[in-house]
Structure formats: C-alpha cells, structure tokens
Amino acid sequence: MLRIRPLLFVPLFVLALSLGACRGPGEPSDDVDQAPVLSPPMGEASSRSSVAGDPWGSALAAYEAGDYGAALQAIGEAPGLDSDTRLRVSHASLLLFARRFDEAKSIVDTIADDPRARAGVRVVRAHLRINTQDYESARELAGEVASGPVASGVGAPPGYGVFIHELACLAMAWSEANQNEHVRAIRWFDRILDRQADDLLGLLGRGNSLIALNLLQEAQETLRRVLAVHPTNPYALAELGMVHLKLGDEEAAETHFQKALEKDDARYTCPHEGLGLLYLRQGRKDQARDHLERAIRINPDIEYKKYNGLARIYLEEGNVAEAERLLEKSIANFPHDAEARALLKELRGSSP
C-alpha cells in the first residue's frame, strides 16, 4: 500500500513553510523526516496585530498572531532600527520568514560584535544553518540561548527576550524533528507552550511531531487548539488531514486538504502533495498527477513524496526515463528516503 509521510513544517523559510513532507497510514518509519526551519503559518486577522503608534509592539503582536508579513513591515518602521542592534536582530529574524536569507545573514554579520545582540545573532545563525540542513551547528548555536533563562538586557525592546528565546527553542525543536527525534523536539515545543499555551508555532510543531510518533489522538487535540483560535490556518488543517489519512478516513482527509488550499493554494505544497498521494491510492490518476505536479511547481526543492508518487505514475505508463529523473530529485531533496532508493533500484534492475 502506498505510504504517505506525515506533514512537516517545512522550514519556515522554505515555505513561505510548507509543512514538509507527508506520511499517511501505517507505523512511523525509521528514516528521517524533513521538518521546518522557521515556518510561517498564516494567521487570522487579529486585534493583537496592530499597536497604535508602536511599530515594535505591532511587529511582536503580528508575529504572535502568525501574520509574518505584517510583522516584517512593522519592524521596518520601528524608530531606532538603524541604531539598536536588538531591533536589527529582530528584523533579521523576520526576514527569514520571507526567505530573504542573504539579507538576514548580512544584518547579523554586521552586528555580531555587539554584546547586546550576541544571543539574537546566534539564534538567527542557527536558523540559517537549519535551512542548509546543518543541524549539529544549529543546535550548538541555539542551545545556549534555549537552555538559559529569558534575558532581554538593559534597554531592550519589551518582549525582545521572550521573542529570541522562543526562536532559540524552535531552532532546537526543528533540528531534532528534522532528524526524526520527535520526542526531543516535543520537549522544546513544550518549553514554549509552558510559557504561552496558545503559541502558534509551538502548537503546530508539537502536532507535527505527535503525528510522526503516531500519537494521533493527542495530535488532534493539539491541532484543534490552533483551529479554535485560527479556524482557517492552513498548516493546522493540512496536519489534521494527515491525521485522518493515517486513521483511514480518506473523506475527512480530503476535506481538510481542500480547506487548507482554500486559504493558500499558490505557496503551500503539502495539501497538494497530500491530495496527490490520496488520489493515487484511490486510482484517480489524472487528479493525482495534477496535484503532484502543482506541488512540485510551487517549490521543487523541498519534500520528496510528491516526486515518488509522480514517478509511480510514469512507471505505470512505461516512461522509465522520467520516473528515474523524478526519483533522483526525490533523493536529492531528502537523501534518507528508503522508498525512492528502492524504486530506483527496482527500476534500474528491470531496465534492459
């Protein structure tokens, strides 16, 4: 039976997050899932997303509400942005959500020698390492900040210390999740949620790791906490779709994937991938092809199951060369995937 891997956050940066790869019914596999770096879920409009006359407060409120574009715009208007290195760290952090990695790196490289910005610089660099899959370096950079107390420093913008500490915990959690260490990842997500029970990224990350561990009831409860506040959040909807798919409720899975696409069908790959794999399992090959191809077009450089599924279609059609190309790309995106390697070995073994 076709197995679908669970939703991953895809890196926050990579999205503009796609939630990673998808897995469906069956036991968790031993290979590694790709999880998010920073991933920006799209939040609902919120009264917290604007603080009159206070750009920094507006940026922080928008971040907490999941409106990362508004947060980036607000921080750009903050007085003292050019002179306060902690504001510049915050700006660099929010640039990551927009996948503007070079700009973020340039900022932290410029201010790295300022002791006030030291913790924030380490955290931004940790997320940049996650984006290049250098998880060991990411943990080394973020661990000191995540394991320590929340510390803003004298004269820091209100809430700055909590903001940086959360990003450090996310870096640790995503580094562990990306290497299939989901129990460890949940400990870091819980550290965030212990301080703020409705934290959006904490809840989404926790739900994703619970799915990977096959703790589906607990995953449902966690994701419903997100939807209670953000009822159309595409990441929570898509993750719930994966839960239903693992439980064998294909109708509910399809409904949740479709609802996720109603919110964002142009930048978020996982619902397309989930629908493609679902339709492939059901024998609806044309619809499967459409969604898998759309998932690849949106972002060809993350996830891998979409390539495996489309390769299966080409193999059924006798297009061995195209299937081989897709499987090679799948492995390039995610070298730990056993399915693509097995298919490629079978394909090459049967070729004349």
pLDDT tens track of the chain, all 352 residues? 333 343 344 444 333 233 333 433 233 333 333 333 344 444 343 334 455 578 999 999 999 888 899 999 999 999 989 999 999 999 999 999 988 999 999 999 999 999 999 999 999 999 999 988 899 999 999 999 999 988 777 788 999 999 999 999 999 999 999 888 999 999 999 999 999 999 999 999 999 999 989 999 999 999 999 999 999 999 999 999 989 988 989 999 999 999 999 987 777 888 999 899 999 999 999 999 999 999 999 888 777 889 999 999 999 999 999 999 999 999 888 777 789 999 988 888 765 5
Q: Angle, nearest 10°, between helix axes 200-212 and 234-246?
A: 20
pTM of the predicted model as reported, rounded to 2 decimal places: 0.81
Tell me which H or E stretch contains 166: helix 160-177
Cα–Cα distance between 129 and 136 in angstroms, integer?
9
3-state secondary structure of 185: helix
Of 318, 294, 321, nearest in space to 306 by CA: 294
Q: How many CB atoms lie within 10 A of CB 194?
A: 10
HSE-CB of 7 using CA atoms within 13 angstroms: 40
Domains in the chain: ranges and CATH: 12-303 (1.25.40.10)
